[in-house]
Every structure is written in structure tokens, then in C-alpha cells.
Amino acid sequence: MSERFYVTTPIYYPNDVPHIGHAYTTVAADVAARYHRLKGDEVWFLTGTDEHGQKMLEAAEARGQGPQEYLDAMVPNWKALWDRLDISYDDFIRTTEQRHKTPVQAFWQRLYDSGDVYLGSYEGLYCVSCEDFYRESELREGNCPVHGRPVERVTEENYFFRLSKYAGWLLNDYYERKPVSVQPGNRLNEVRSFVDQGLQDISISRTSFTWGVPIPWDTNHVFYVWIDALLNYITALGFPDGERFGRFWPGVNLVGKDILRFHAVTWPAMLHAAGIDPPQLVFAHGHLLVGGEKMSKTKLTGIHPDQLLETFGVDAYRYYFLREVAFGQDGNFSWESLVARYNAELANGIGNLLSRVTALIDANCGGEVPDPSAATGDAERALRLVVERQIELYEDALDAFAFHTGLEAVDAIVREVNGYLVETAPWKLAKQEGTEERVGAILYASAEVLRLLAVLLSPVIPQAAGKIWASLGINTPLSEQRLPAAVRWGGLPVGARIARGESLFPRIEG
């Protein structure tokens, strides 16, 4: 029975071009969405841009433009990159759209009317780059812990949300839910500890600038950017009355660990206060580090994905980051590690396997998938058992957003079948008389593994997976395959015409 799966990325600040840290989250969400479509689930995948706030206004002014003009020029850069990375999003929300602004006002009007919003005065330490306030104890040598820049002491008359009222609900209900509401476990412990220290009510408005969604009951204020932005996950679904909102919420919010508190403390409390279910899951991944530091547009340490796509291609790009880094932990990026992973697992592994098997079938079986029934033996049965076990590990891993573990299982399959080919040596057998059926059984098993690999890899490297599928001459489209039927052994049609193509992943030197 199919289920519904709603996954979101954070909405990104388009105050500059995206870097590979942004693409990391987006590729992960795309792989999750594609995997659940492969399972036959009804999927909705949202991404978008966060377009209000002081930082955005300053970025526009620095270029001598009004904020809307500036944003309308910047947002296409983000959409173009997602197209280049094969991101299969279903919707792209911009917080300057009326479909977002109107329900934001309706949401907060509900909380104001219920007494969860009040007028007060606020003084705090504010980082413009983060659009966030910090406690004195959180600063590093007096600077923002994320950007290393001085914070500003801000005093304003603001409206406040009674966040402190919901500390007990967060600790005793939301964080105790099964399946867990925040992952990985260390991030759940982090937010539980933060809330346990005591929550303060939070400011939800600003009067020092006007670039934001106006507060409906007091138009001298605009909503604080985070208070507006978090609601994109439901406004994009048509909250409060939209059909998709009823079908898909609550969903899965994939975020970076630096915005965990907004998503795992403020966001669920806001929703609970409004009588709306909180997120099913907030999954906070780690940072991609270059030279031990988090990539940052503010620090000018961001690497644009185009710098890597030109050399390695989109599939290798997508594969590398999810294979190299355990999703949920920090991971270091380097050009050298990308080259090594590409050559070892894509060029020498998957690519070489495809070239070898299709060439052997072309040379020994007239270019058609042979019939294995007469000569399948213990070696093939052993191969099948290993492959089936790794498929189970792959499915368990992707269900848990453990993309690196899923790809380890795929690599284990590739290594197993390459070892099987070395052991059985069909190129040697083919030179002996009376071995045609045995050679056919070996090559069928090897080609069947390629078919299974195409299915398993289709969420991660969709273009390469499609080329593997096409090489095997299977008439039914790869896009129509559904788990678990698609990964049952023996699905490769006997007699299918093999098509040898160009090298799937040519080796890269240096």
C-alpha cells in the first residue's frame, strides 16, 4: 500500500549564488523524494527561497537595487542550478509570493487572537548574517558563533510569541514521540538540553525596516524573517484549506544543523500553539567543511557546484557527497577525495562492470541476454544471496536517510559481482568447447546485477542509471519500476538486445 511522503529543504537566502553546502541538502532531499517514488509512495517535494529580512535588504541596497528587483534577478540562478543537478522538486516557494504572505498573516492572527502573542520591548545580541539572536554564553570571543562577525545589541518594541509556554509540551510530548521527531540522536539531545535550560519568549516582529510581511493587526511592524519563513512548509501546501495541506502535512524537514533550533524548537511550538500537527521529522545534517571550516557565502568560502560539475558531471557530483559523508555528521570536502571516490567506485566499479559485461555478451551471446536456466549453479546462488542481503540493507538505510550506508551496500554489490566475474572467468570458459550454457548463466547473472544496480541507483545517479537500463535493452521504462518487485532476482528478459555505449564514467587523472 502506497504512503504519502512530503520532504522539504530549507528555503535558501538568495542574497548570493548557491554553493555546494546548499546543493548538499537539496540533492539529499531529491534522493529521498526519488526513492519514495520508487517505492510507489505519493510524494511532494518542496524547495524555495527565503526573501525577506534585513540581510536581504542590505544585499539589494549594496547593488543599488530595490529588494524585489534584486530578488527577481537572483532567484533564477538557484532554479537553474537545481535543474543542472537533476532536482525533481514538485514546487518552488518564494516568500514574496502572495500565496505565502496571506496565510502567514492568517496564522499569526490566529495566535494573536488566542493570546499567544503580546507586545513588549526586546534587547538582545543580533547577527544580521544569521538573522538570529544569541545569548552571551553562545558567542565566541564576543562574535557570532557561525560567522565569526561582531553581533549588534538591538533594542526594539516587538511583538512576542509565548514560546516559554510550550517547553513542557516539547520535552514531554514532541521529543518523546516514536518514531523520533528529531534526528540524528545527538541533535535531539542538543535541542532537549536547550529547552531544558529554560525557554524565553521570542520576538516575532521588527520596526527598524519594512522589508517583510506586514503584521495584520499593527502595520507598523513586519514579521521577523524566521517567523515568516518557517511557515513556507505549510503555505506552499495551501494552508489552511488547501487539499495538499490536508494530504501531505505533517512532513519531513531536512535542514542544516546551524538552523536546528528554529526547526526543532520554535517551529513545532508555533504549530502546536495554532492547533496544527508538528513536523513528522526534523533531520539536521552536518556541515560540509573545506579546510576544516564550514562553507559560507558571508566568509566568501563557498564553492559553486559548477566548478565540480564541469569536471565530474552531475551523477558523480550527486553520488560523491552522499557517499563520502555520513548524513547527519560533518564531512570534509576535497578535490582529491572526489577524484579518488570517482575513480574507485564509479569509473573502475560501476562503469567498468557495465563495459565488461556488455562486451562479453556481445562477443559470446550474439548481443542478446542469454538463457541461464540450464546451467545456473552454486556460484550464481551465492551471488544472488549476497545481492539480496545488500538490497535489504540499502532499503533500510534509505528509509532512515542514511544515504552513505545505502551507497555502501550498492558498492558492496559491485565489488561482489566483479569478484564473481574474476572467479568464474567467463572469457576463459568461452574458449573451451561445450561451455556455452555455463558462460550464458554467468553472463545472465552479471547482467541481472546490472539491472538491479540501475534500479537501486536511479534515485542517486538518475542519468547514469538510465544509461545502464538502456544498455540492457529492457523495454519497460526505468521510471516505471517500483519496489519491491523491481529488485526481485530474475527480472532481466532473456533475449533482450544489449547496446554497448560510451564509457559511463571515464577515468579522471589528478
Please identify every residue annotated as catalytic. Answer: 19, 22, 127, 130, 144, 147, 294, 297
Report yes or no: 316 and 43 within 8 Å, Cβ to Cβ: no
From the centroid of its chain, how far is CA 470? 27
Say how far apart CA 75 and CA 94 lie, in whole Å.
9
DSSP 3-state percent helix, strand, coil across the chain (nearest 5): 50, 15, 35
Query: Which candidate, 384, 366, 508, 398, places its Cα nearest to that of 445?
Result: 384
Three-state SS for 296-336 is CCCCCCCCCCHHHHHHHHHHHHHHHHHHHCCCCCCEECCHH
Q: From residue 366, how far is each of 315, 424, 465 by CA, in Å? A: 31, 20, 24
Q: In what order do the strands lie in the sheet containing 152-161?
A: 132-134, 117-127, 152-161, 202-203
Residue type present at position 427: W
Report yes or no: 27 and 85 within 8 Å, Cβ to Cβ: yes
C-alpha atoms less than 13 angstroms from C-alpha of 350 in its C-beta half-sphere: 27
Say how far apart CA 400 and CA 302 lie, in whole Å.
29
The three-state secondary structure class of 246 is helix
- Between the two ends of the chain, the Cα-to-Cα distance in Å is 48
Write the DSSP symbol of residue 433: T
